[in-house]
Structure 1
Amino acid sequence: MKNLTPMPSPNNARILVVDDEPRLVTSLKQLLNSHQYEVDTALGGKAACEQLIRQKYELVLLDLNMGDMDGHQVMGFMAENSIDAATIVVSGESTFSAVSKALRRGAYDYLKKPYDPEELVATVESALSKKLLESAHGAMQRRLQRSEELHRYIVNSSPDIVFMLDKEGKFTFLNNKIEKILGFKKRELLGQKYTAIIAENELKKARYLFQQNTAVNKGIRNFEMHLKSSDSNRPDRFFDITIFPIERKTGKSFNAEGQSLNPTFIGTYGTARDITERKEAEDFINFQAYHDLLTRLPNRSLFKDRLNLAIAQAKRNSERLAVMFLDLDRFKVVNDTLGHAMGDRLLQAVSARLEGCLREGDTLSRFGGDEFTLLLPEINSREDARKIAKKLIQELKEPFKLGDHDVFIGVSIGIAMYPEGGISVEQIIQNADVAMYHVKSRGKDGYQFFVSSMNTPSSNRLILERDLRKALEDDQLKVYYQPQVNAQSGEIIGVEALVRWHHPEKGVLSPSQFLPLAEETKLIVDISNWVLKTACNEVKKWFQEGYHNIRLAVNFSPKQIEHPRFVQALIAQLKRYDFPAEKLEIELTENVIMNDLENMVKTLSMLAENKITIAIDDFGTGYSSLSYLHTLPIHTLKVDQSFVKNIQEKRNEACIVNAIVAMAQGLKLNIVAEGVETETQLKYLKALGCQEVQGFYFGRPQPAEYILTLLAEHKNSQQKNQYEAV
């Protein structure tokens, strides 16, 4: 093994010769110089002390009897000032007391004058060798001490608990973190087995892992485990623990890498990192993913997972199960009159009561809003399900105390049995929902089993209507925007607001899938008002970001436009939303206008007086006289996408588009071509002089935040082009 710090040669040592006789000092210096030593001299004790303060020496040759300060005093000075140099006394005094006193003072040897030169040189060499060995040993000790101090600092500064166990599993070392994290004093645990800090429910696992670790050549092991605190009232904490065996290499057999083939296990070294907060965060995130945070019940996703498992078990064991779909009656009244906070408290109280009615193994979930679903596995008959339904209804009939209010509600329950009520997760839930809606339709506050005759188009329509009403209440609707682009510059100058329904079961639904139903049920008015409010608030934020030239196009239902106070209501809404009327454009079809032309003239004129612009949507597809274009304050014609689609392939469509663009130019109307999907279509329309275009070529309808990103990208692109032009 190589010595990393070579020992200096004694010949490199520096020696101080001290005597008050100049001739003796000179002879000693010459003698030592002849043996390659570096020698300084001092005439007397005081001069020696001054030299020793200024210069470091490995060896001092010292006379005892000196006039100003004797040798004993010099050695005392060296001791007091921690001067680390070996001392050889060279003196004419040879009494026992003088010699013993010098040796007690730390002298390495005592030579009597007159000295033998060979003996003196040999004594010098021996003293220096010893001194150098002591210095090397001291330096090594100091390095070891510093290393140990550093190691202890690192270990005690570690955020982890660091520990060592002997081969029996008893603690032989612990750092300070054990007390800070778990509250144990180190002295309490040293000599105790590791099981003293293991949580009760983890003992079996811990013993197995320790036994595995005692087997040699097992390497590092990592696992997670609960450790208990010294205070039994404090909860256990969760740790990420790493351990590896400590082995003594014994025997004479080695492998190709030089590792001992028969090491002996002597203990365990390990670290334990407290990951309680991380695990709690992970658990909370997992809880959020599968639970409703208000009621702490399983959510829709977890309910479906459990139902899927229950169906598999029921099929395997030829068992039955039931799913109940619960919808609270009169909850909306409570929510609207007492406020959402009280509504939330009511949902929590309802959840607690329902849970009190369940068997072990049943799953109650909050499915959304005021809807709950209940899974009843291993149920024997419809009669068993009926009893539970009656119990739930009776339980919720009792009043709920909310502050100073006694609140009465009811519940409508639909029940689907497996397998007759469905054999898949979606089918059973949907059929229970259908049965529940039949309870609602006949007067609420009751239960109904699903039968196949319920699954009719009219039933499905009723369910969709109910879902649409809930969509408005539960913020399932979202406004998307399709850009309207200047055909020449590519700048976004307007957007058309379009509504999408984020249905919890069916995904994103387009307007054609639910607006016809909304028209029939008069929900269209509520939906249109919601779209206007949302769009005004979102586009107004774009204005605040510096995009002031954006025009907002909104579609309104004929039911709204035909209302005699439509304009007054609209102006009031715009003032309430602080939205500039001149930035709003209303899109109408020709058929809506021609349905009651006389009243429409008045309505549109009032809109124009308030700076709201009018666009004729799907122009060219209606059955009307073009004379109304002179009569009404129309601002924009929108060419229907059916003409634009085949503009290159079919001559008829091209002729119609040419005619509409020419007519709009003649009447000084703005023209927007819808349904532009290709660069060829765009080039054709630009050549015709069409001012604005809209379609998938520029982007599908997207949420507000996406459009804001598009606006920013276009702005940056314009600035870059201007800079390059300069």
Structure 2
Amino acid sequence: MASERTNRHSSQRLAARILVVDDEPRLASTLATLLRSCGYDATEAHGGRRACELIDTQRFDLALLDLRMPEVDGFAVMTHLENQQPACGTIVISGESSFTTVSRALRRGALDYIRKPFDPEDLVATVKGVADKQSLLKAHENIQGRLEKSEALHRYIVNSSPDIVFMLDADGRFCFINSKIESMLGYKPVELCGQHFRHILDDRDVARGIYALNAPDISADNPRTLEIRLKTRGSRRATRHFEVTAFPIDPQTWMHNGNTQGGGSGQNACYYGTARDVTERKEAEAFINFQAYHDLLTRLPNRALFKDRLELAITHAGRGSQKLAVMFLDLDRFKIINDTLGHAMGDRLLQAVTQRLESCLRKGDTLSRFGGDEFTLLLPSIHGHEDASQIARKLIKALKAPFLLGEHEVFVGVSIGIAIYPEAGSSMDQLIQNADIAMYHVKAKGKDSYRFFSESMSIDSTNRLNLERDLRLALKRNELRVFYQPQVCASTNRIMGLEALVRWQHPERGLLYPRDFLGLAEETQLISQLSEQVLDQACRDVGKWIRSGHRDLRLAVNLSPVEVEHPKFVETLMKRVKANRFPPGNLEIEITENVLMNDLDQISQKLRELADMDVRIAIDDFGTGYSSLNYLHRLPIHTLKVDQSFVKAIHSGVDDACIVNAIVAMAHGLKLEIVAEGVETESQLQYLRTLGCHQVQGFIYGPAQPATDISKLLAHTTVRTALSG
């Protein structure tokens, strides 16, 4: 008999009539064909209007609906179906995937939601599950009719129910409870009978439960349904959520059946109820809500939640005449690490950064991930700038120590912009925008620090945006120019090398110098593209002069710290050199002492690799940074460039030139070449010659010049001869 019932149920499922609705005929036909191949009776409807016509004339067990259709959309079809055939189930198949659309469809009665494009196997499995469920629902309705005639069958269904079924006496004590309570919560039915229902309720829900049962309008036609938390056996706090439905009954109508498998007889029952476990649904709802307002990688509030909290904090601060601070944090060097080690390591780094930042916060502060490597921080109820400064210093200090990612030890810093309410803005958008502006000013001044927003920054920000737009266009339009400043032998006046210096021929502002745009290029990640164009042009120009007879001519190029710190710096540089067929032995790269000291071990390795390929290394602006004899001895350095500020100190007195004397003497002792920058007068030149300075460069030989002028200089024996000519 069991086999016969199974076969009959299977044939009913296979014979289920299904309406397939889509405004794309080919897709509707494909769906219908797929369902027919599985034994279903499928009917196609091309569009919502045709679907409504079929619903009026034919009966269906299940409808597969698209939502977005012209004239009559899927929601309208669902309404029509509910009015005409309420027993027909609905599955939505749509490309719409927003939470609002999915939620609306499910609220309107959809039994499931399949997103386009779909997997045929998944779709068939979903249809099977829903069709089976519909079949079970219909079977349940039949059983309900039979229950009215058979109390014994009623008892059987109660004890086989997937829900907890219970009865309470007038005082709220259990007088019957089915065996489902044991598998769900661990109680034996017999041990609960005679206990008040509060025994299994979470303490926070007891009052709500008592109030619901004592409501004056509760009846069998108007039952009470509420979500409450029930405790598992032996626990103090509830761990599972249940949807409880209860209503009063007449004790005289309940007749005891001795075959019940639950606890208690049900005598003296005044309330009948069921409890359905909805824990998984509640957890799913909580997760969906968490997703909507949190960043899943760091578990921090996202942009939407941060703005909600900021709006609320502004309202409170306005009422109480208080101050608050908004911080905009941007990680330094994160992009380099992410590009080099991969996104997985980048994600791990963001999680580690989050933990350190959270350790610096006060109770009530809100740290959010705003996007990428950007964070925002809300500091409510501060007394003034010093409170914000203290937090900012803690955040910077927290990120100073290296991060260990697998076998890699990496360093990141943070640039922080701060906007104080109300002086830096009275609205949410103003405070966030102004904190962002202040952060960019930190980036421009060297990173790894903090600054407060001031009104003057707004003007600078507007100019910066315009200049950034123009710089992007300049790179596309080849507006960058390479000028060259000769490095001249102090004793023979021969040109030994050329330092490549970038200029920007702006279409409206004329010729711009590096100080006007290089900082912006670094901030906006355009520095690599800019340097690539400059290096290519310089290699082509100087390479041509080398091949024309100036075999020993050296090309000196300044490199940005951003480029040197990149793990693929050596590979990228040599790729450009080879692409332009430039001899590596004629190339000299100039870096500052500060770049070396940022990460001495990593930079040392890169410089050794370059030196092994005959590239020369020069320390630019020597004397203005760390000036450590230790690194001069350890690294493959060929040249020291004396900063022009020391050269300018050379006048008639020897005391003013003591630093130059010391640098030149040290270079001689270490067998390094010396290039003095910023030489402008004959007296400076003569003094440097007497010291034994090898090479000089500066305005005494004229400003940096374009390639056409340099070609003329190189045609003469010495630069002095060319200038006098």
Do these two structures clear the TM 0.5 threshold for a shared fold by scoring above it? no
Q: Give me the TM-score of the superposition, normalised by structure 1.
A: 0.42
Q: Give me the TM-score of the superposition, normalised by structure 2.
A: 0.42
Q: Return the index of the structure with the highest Cα Rg.
A: 1
